[in-house]
Every structure is written in C-alpha cells, then in structure tokens.
Structure 1
C-alpha cells in the first residue's frame, strides 16, 4: 500500500474536523474573492459568530480575499483551503495609525488555530511602497526614515511595517500547513504563549528587510516541526523580551531553513532567557550569517540546550555562542550547559546569500573567512559547552594582504561587550577554525576542522579557557605551525589531537 502524501493526510484530517465543527464560510458573510474587495468586516463577522457559538471553523474558500487586520478569537479555527489566498491590504492605513498592527492578531485567547494548505500573503513590497509614499507626503511619521543604519541602508522603521501574524498571551495555539508569504516585516511572532504547535508550515518571505521567519518570544511548551523557512532575516528565532520569564521547554525538529541572517538563533533580545531547548534534524542552506547562533546579551540565562543533527551548506559561519553585556543596566547574564552534536557545515569565502532579493549587509571592512566562536567576558565565562561529532569545512584562502592580526597581539582582540552580537563583531580574528575566549568546561569530541585552500592563520585559539578537554580533534589540512594556540589555559587535557605536525611544533603555548 502506497503511503499517503502529507497533504492527502491533512485533507483527510480536515474533512473529519469539518464533520465535527460548525463551518462558517466567509462568503456567506459577504466576502468576495475577487482580489480587490476589502473583506475585513465579513471575515471578522465570521470569526465573531464562530466565537459566540462556542467555537467553529471559519473557512477561507477558493479565491483571492483581500483583508485588513482581523482578530482571531478563542475556539476558532481559521482554515485557509488549498486554492485560497488571504491577501493583506496594500494600504498602510488599514493597519492602524502610529504603530502598524499585524494582519492577524490574537491577545489572551485560547484554543485557536490556523490550518489548511492555502496562502496568507502580506504583499510586503506593495505595503512598503505605500509606507514610503506616505512618508514622502508627510502623512506618516518615522524618525528613522532616511537615516542610514549601521549597515549603510535606509529603510522605514519596523513599527511602520505590519507583521503577518502576532499572537500574545495565548494558550493552546496550533498553526499547520499554510504558506506565509512576503511580510513587510517579521512574518509571525508568538509572545508569551503556552502550548504552541507549529507544524508543516511554509514561509516564503523575502520581500523586504527584517523578515524573521518564525519568532518565538518567551513562550513555554512549544513544538516546531517539519517547517520550511526561506526568510530575509533570521529563520527560526527564539527571543526573550521579558526579564521576568523565559523561552522554556522548546522542541524544534525536521525543518529546512534558508536565511539572509542566521538560520537558528537565540536572541538578540535575551532579557529573561532560554531554558530547556532541543533542536534536531535541521537542514540549512544559502544562509548569510550563522547556522547556529546562541546569544545572551541583555542579562538573561541561556542554559540546558541540546542541538543535534544539523547539516548546513553555503553558510557564513558554523557556530556562534556569545555572552555579552548590551543591556548595561542589567547584570551580565549566564550561558551554560550546551551540547551540540552531529553537525556538518560548509563555509564559503564568498557571500552565501548573494543573488537573493534582499541580501544581508556586506561586512564593511576587508577580512578573511571568520571562524566559529565561543566567547564570554572577563570574569563571566561561557560554561560547559560540548562540541561532539562536528565537521566544518572552510573555503580557506586566508591572505595577509587581505587582513592580518598578529599572534603576539592576542590581547588586542576587542571585547566589544556592548556591541550587537554577530560572528564578525570582533573584526579580523587570528585563526580560521575555532576561536574560544573567556570560557570554562569546554569539551571537543570528534571534531574535524579543514580548509580547501591554505590559510596562514592557526586553526584554533583558546584564550582564557579553564577545564579544556579535547578528545580527537582532527585538523588535517593545516600547512603551517602553530595549528593550536593556548593562552591562559591551565592544565588542558589533549589526549588525542590529530595534527599534521608533531605536537611540540603544532601546539603553541602563548606567553
């Protein structure tokens, strides 16, 4: 017996649900799927009627239904059928005044869902064009507009561009199947929600900047599975905007991610923190920044994180772990107990997202390929990180003519405690494979670092690292010594290190 496809299974489940739930077709409330009529009132009436009846399924049938802001309510399932298009209005005025609302919103609702295999399209290009028109006319205010940002770009502020979806303080939320397309800003944000399931959705959103694919902010008990994300900004991103709570008990698995920023990211907002997170079986491609970025820079705690079975091709950086101090009024946070295993990454010399509609900003100074990094602050180390069964292949080709940071200048690598966390934040680094500074309890098990073209720099630098244990570190392609540099590393354990030179030549104790 042949296996049923996912969409056939989903159709079967949906048919069963239709039989159990009261179905309210939006066309019965006056909606017209002609791609022009604004159906906000009709769709909201259907949702309100379903909620008043104690719950029901609001059906978006075949057609192109334009809408402004709609509020999803408790007990209501919004079902976007296979040939249905829910199109966001292209008029900025349809999203409110000073701060743009998301297209679909819910606040303090429970047992809500969006299902089906149809499309929710924010038409971000057209919305941004209308925002720009209003700004030029002076009918919309934006102190940021026309100001060049740190990346040399001009763009309207995020608060003037609508998200596709924002749910706040909701419980028992299910999002399945649908295609989220072309937001003008973040695609979907779930803030302080509980019991959240996101399964088999598709995100195709590269219309404009700040297009995070999935943002999960201080949510608890979350499963993100079988999603395919192509986003102009971070792909799947955990955030913590509330110092009094956490992202906690999160599972992410079996996803595919393409990003013009970082594919899997915790932060940048990291006020409360992240606890008990498991990520597995993720494929990453053409991603500009890091495959894995774990950051606490706003005083939060990042702990008990397991990441396994990651394959990343053509991405700007493999692993970036950072404890910083951006929020200076808060105490420095904590990063500890991280286990990353079974990871394979290929890092090119060029720009991994080159040719995409909205590329990530070019690093504004000459540099060689950046290494993976684990960095804390003086007196505040990153604690207990295990890298196991890791293979990173770099393009290599490091040249002193491009940039050169001398080994005897290691103390001059800047701390940049308050800077925006990014793998390029320290400028040119004096190694090509892995840079670790201000850390304790670092374990490398079965780690292989290699390059395709020669690089004059050492492969690995450990600086101010306590309780360093290395078991089978393989660096087969290094062509010059030293290969490993140890600075302020008391009693390192290096039982099995495979190097192309004798240990006494390949390992340099920096003094």
Structure 2
C-alpha cells in the first residue's frame, strides 16, 4: 500500500496535490500494482489518471476535493469529448483510458463542489438552477477499460455527470452513494455508454438529472458497439428527471437490460426508454419496483433552456419518434420489453408512444397497482416527448396511454384515483392506433363520469377478458374506428356499468 502523503500530498483542503497523488498512482503501477491510500484529510486536486492494476482507496475521513480551475484539468488521449453538449468536454476529476483491473473503493468522499458552479439555492423551488461557470468537469470518466470496480465510495455534488463509462467491460458498481445536486442540470449519476457486462447494485442515488442512464452515443457506438448485458438491482433512486433512463442517444443497439428490486421515490419519471437515432432497443426486464413520481415544472418552464425538467410524472415512459432535427434519421425500434410486480404512485400516467414509422412491439405489463394522486400543484395536462418535433403538447392524461404499438399484453392491472382529481385526468386506459392488444383482469374506473374507463380508437385485434366494471361506472368500454371482426370479449363482468360497451363511428 502506498500513502499519497509519502509523495507530498497535503490534506489541508487548499494546497493543490494533483502532482503528488498522480506520482503515487504512477509509482504503484510501476511496481506492478497495488493500493494507493487517500488518508484522512481534504486533498485538493485536478485530473488524476488511474492506472492498470491499481486500487485507489479512500479512508473513511478522506476527501478528494475538485479544483475549481480549468487549468488543473486535462483531456486524456483517446478522449470521448466530441459528443458531449453544454461545453462539458471530457475533462474529469478521475480518468482512465484502456486500463485493466482498476478499482476505487472506501468510505471517503469524492467531492465535485458542484454547488459552486450554480447560482445559490432558492428554498422551495423546483426550477433548474442557473449555471454560473462555463467549465463543469465530470467526476469520473472512463473509456475502454476492462474489469472495473467502484465500491462504497460516496460521490458528492458533481458539477455535471457523476460517473461516465464509455466502451468499458466487466464493470461492477456496488454500494456507491451518489448525492448530486437535485436542481443541477446534466447532473447524471451513472452513465454506461456502449458498455458490456455492467453490474450496478446496492446503490443510493439522488440527482437533478437522470440517476442511471444506459446509452449508445455516436462516439461510443462507432468504437465499441452495442450497449448490452446491464443489470441494476437493490437500488434506491431519486431524480428530478428519470430514475432509470435507456437512451435517448441510441446510435448503437441497446439490449439485455434487467432492473429489479429498486425503490424510486420523488422522481419526475420512473423508467424511461427512448429510441431516436436508428438503433434497436430490445430484451429488457423490469421487476419488483416501487415507483413514486410527481410533476416538477410547468409546461411553459420546460420549453425554456434550463428552465424546467423533461417529463410529466410518468412512472413508465416509452417513445419512438424522430428527433427535432432536419436531417434526423428514422428513430429505430423498441421491442420485447416486460414489466412485472410494480407498485406505483404517480401524478401522471404511463406513456407508451411509437410513431407511424416506428411501432413499439412486444410489450408486457402485469401485476401492477397504480394509484393516481395530486402532489405537486403543477397543472399538468400535457404530454412531453422531448427531444422530438412534437416536444410538449396539450393532451388529456389517462392512467395508461398506448399509441402506435403492437403485440401489447396488460394483465392483472389495477388503477386507482386518490383524493381530488387533476382536471386533465381521464380514462384508466386509452389506446390509439394499436394492433393486437390483450387486456386481462383489468380493474379501474375513469377519473371523471363523462369519460369511459377504457377507450379504444383504431385498435385492431382487441381481446378483453376476465375484467370487471366497478360500481358507479358510467361507460366501461368505448370503441371508435375499431374493427369488430377482431374484437373478443371473454369472461368479463360489466354488469355494474350503466353502459358496458359504447360504439362510436
């Protein structure tokens, strides 16, 4: 074990110790590997390069403090900066390029001092804070590394992304606490980008932007291929954006993703899946999740640069449509996605929306109890598919909404409305332009008496079975422009509805 103090590092929080810490890391690598100890104290540093076969270990009272000066940060060779926005570049506090067998461990803190990059907090506001420094380094940036371990280390107040991994393989992130800035833009937690075999477990993450983002950027996909074989389990997540986000950058395929046994609280979106850049997103399993979402901005705020947050309290969100760019390619495909065992409390509804050129296929949602309730006081009444041509647009809000989808199965789903309803809430389930929709054991009423519990518009191949109309239901099922030749109603009890089925031409 090598102690950074033996190389002259000073833990007074004001003396720049980058050179001393880097010398300790390099010396450890030159002797064949080992452990570099960050002892008790606050060590101010710029960019540090991790080396193969070296573990950086932070003692419980240790703190790595990010420098505030851009001159103290360097862009490593093999950089992945050109695809990032907001002027972030690829400069970071901890970096590694094509290293093997590296680790960052311990209960000490890596402190990005991100609060000093933003205007002061205004207590009680949900609005994104204004950036007051152009330069915002990431905390951790890895590229092309193999056999990477992050264990137990708290990551505190990143000024932009917390942990970005491009083209890495065999990555384990466990027991890590990410305490970001809940009103900080681009304040992601963990971003596996064109990575393979990534395991994220037992983490607690609070961020302004997305907690965990699985993506395939143009840079990453061209060099490292698909992002695949990603597992997330036993995590607690809180975000002003999406707790779990797949996309939006989809220049390479994203597949074989599992998320299980997670608690998502006080977030704008629970699980979000975007395809925008022509890839295929497939084979994803989400199970045993508690999801609590709420609104965090007015619709007019969201359209302003850094004025609000993407999302409208959707516990599940899927979208397949073109970006809002003149030369945008066809979005790509979403298929073979399954959700099971979900407890949901939300202010907005589930949204699964494809487009005429990209039909979402093979979706299963089962064993769900979803309770809709007002929490924030924001008005709602809009859908938000950013980044897209439509962006944010007014729309009634069903508890579950399906659009341009095929081969969809909903089973054992309960919809409940709690307290005073939002005036924009409507059906328990609304579907438009859907083919082969199977609904079994569905229980739920409309949010208001003048709409039906279930509304199907241009639905081909509807099978409704083993479902029950609850007392005080005015109209249970409305069919509009729906082919009766492929309609199957089996073993339903619709006797409590004043109008069991209504057909509109």
Matched, 1:457 2:436: no
Post-superposition offset of 1:53:
1.1
Matched, 1:124 2:103: no
Post-superposition offset of 1:154:
5.1
Using the alignment, how far apart are the partners of 1:330 and 1:157 within structure 2?
Answer: 34
Post-superposition offset of 1:267:
1.3
Which residue of 1 is the match for residue 230 of structure 2? 250
Which residue of 1 is the match for residue 503 of structure 2? none
| Alignment map for 1:201-220 (pairs within 5 Å) | 201-206=176-181, 208-220=184-196
- SS of alignment partner, residue 31 of structure 1: coil
Post-superposition offset of 1:311:
0.4
Which residue of 2 is the match for residue 341 of structure 1? 340
In the alignment, is the contact (CA less than 8 A) between 2:117 and 2:131 conserved in 1? no
Which residue of 2 is the match for residue 298 of structure 1? 277
Structure whose residues are more often helix by fraction: 1
Using the alignment, how far apart are the partners of 2:387 and 2:158 within structure 1?
Answer: 24
Greater displacement, 320-329 / 104-113 = 320-329
| Alignment map for 1:351-366 (pairs within 5 Å) | none
- SS of alignment partner, residue 282 of structure 1: strand
Which residue of 1 is the match for residue 310 of structure 2? none
Matched, 1:166 2:166: no
* TM value normalised by structure 1: 0.79
In the alignment, is the contact (CA less than 8 A) between 1:273 and 1:296 conserved in 2? no
- SS of alignment partner, residue 42 of structure 1: helix
- Cα pair distance change 1:267/1:43, threshold 3 Å: same
Which residue of 2 is the match for residue 3 of structure 1? none
Which residue of 2 is the match for residue 281 of structure 1? 261
- Cα pair distance change 1:201/1:152, threshold 3 Å: closer
Using the alignment, how far apart are the partners of 2:261 and 2:101 within structure 1?
Answer: 28
* TM value normalised by structure 2: 0.80
- Of 315, 319, 323 in structure 2, the residue corresponding to residue 322 of structure 1 is 319
Post-superposition offset of 1:429:
2.3
- SS of alignment partner, residue 506 of structure 1: strand
| Alignment map for 1:75-114 (pairs within 5 Å) | 75-96=53-74, 99=89, 101-114=91-104
- Cα pair distance change 1:494/1:256, threshold 3 Å: same
In the alignment, is the contact (CA less than 8 A) between 1:194 and 1:222 conserved in 2? yes
| Alignment map for 1:362-511 (pairs within 5 Å) | 370-395=348-373, 419-420=386-387, 425-452=391-418, 453-454=420-421, 457-476=426-445, 478-480=447-449, 481-500=451-470, 505-511=475-481
- SS of alignment partner, residue 120 of structure 1: strand
Post-superposition offset of 1:115:
0.5
Using the alignment, how far apart are the partners of 2:440 and 2:189 within structure 1?
Answer: 37
The gaps in structure 2 that reach 5 residues or longer are 76-86, 120-126, 295-312, 482-505
In the alignment, is the contact (CA less than 8 A) between 1:479 and 1:500 conserved in 2? no
Using the alignment, how far apart are the partners of 1:308 and 1:466 within structure 2?
Answer: 25
- Cα pair distance change 1:153/1:128, threshold 3 Å: closer
In the alignment, is the contact (CA less than 8 A) between 2:153 and 2:176 conserved in 1? yes
Post-superposition offset of 1:499:
2.3
In the alignment, is the contact (CA less than 8 A) between 1:445 and 1:470 conserved in 2? yes
Greater displacement, 469-478 / 300-309 = 469-478
Which residue of 1 is the match for residue 131 of structure 2? 155
Using the alignment, how far apart are the partners of 1:168 and 1:102 within structure 2?
Answer: 12
In the alignment, is the contact (CA less than 8 A) between 1:120 and 1:178 conserved in 2? yes
Using the alignment, how far apart are the partners of 1:276 and 1:108 within structure 2?
Answer: 24
In the alignment, is the contact (CA less than 8 A) between 1:383 and 1:440 conserved in 2? yes
- Cα pair distance change 1:430/1:464, threshold 3 Å: same
Post-superposition offset of 1:330:
3.0
Post-superposition offset of 1:153:
7.3
- Cα pair distance change 1:379/1:209, threshold 3 Å: closer
Using the alignment, how far apart are the partners of 1:403 and 1:92 within structure 2?
Answer: 41
In the alignment, is the contact (CA less than 8 A) between 1:295 and 1:421 conserved in 2? no
Matched, 1:185 2:164: no
RMSD after superposition:
2.7
Which residue of 2 is the match for residue 261 of structure 1? 241
- Cα pair distance change 1:498/1:81, threshold 3 Å: same
- Cα pair distance change 1:508/1:256, threshold 3 Å: same
- Cα pair distance change 1:286/1:503, threshold 3 Å: closer
Post-superposition offset of 1:376:
0.6
| TM-superposition CA deviations, 1:99-141 (whole Å, max 9, x none) | 4610100011110110111100011123558xxxxxxxxxxxx
Using the alignment, how far apart are the partners of 1:491 and 1:117 within structure 2?
Answer: 56
Using the alignment, how far apart are the partners of 2:9 and 2:178 within structure 1?
Answer: 26
Post-superposition offset of 1:82:
0.8
| TM-superposition CA deviations, 1:340-360 (whole Å, max 9, x none) | 111111114xxxxxxxxxxxx
Greater displacement, 453-462 / 221-230 = 453-462
Using the alignment, how far apart are the partners of 1:96 and 1:57 within structure 2?
Answer: 24
Which residue of 2 is the match for residue 353 of structure 1? none
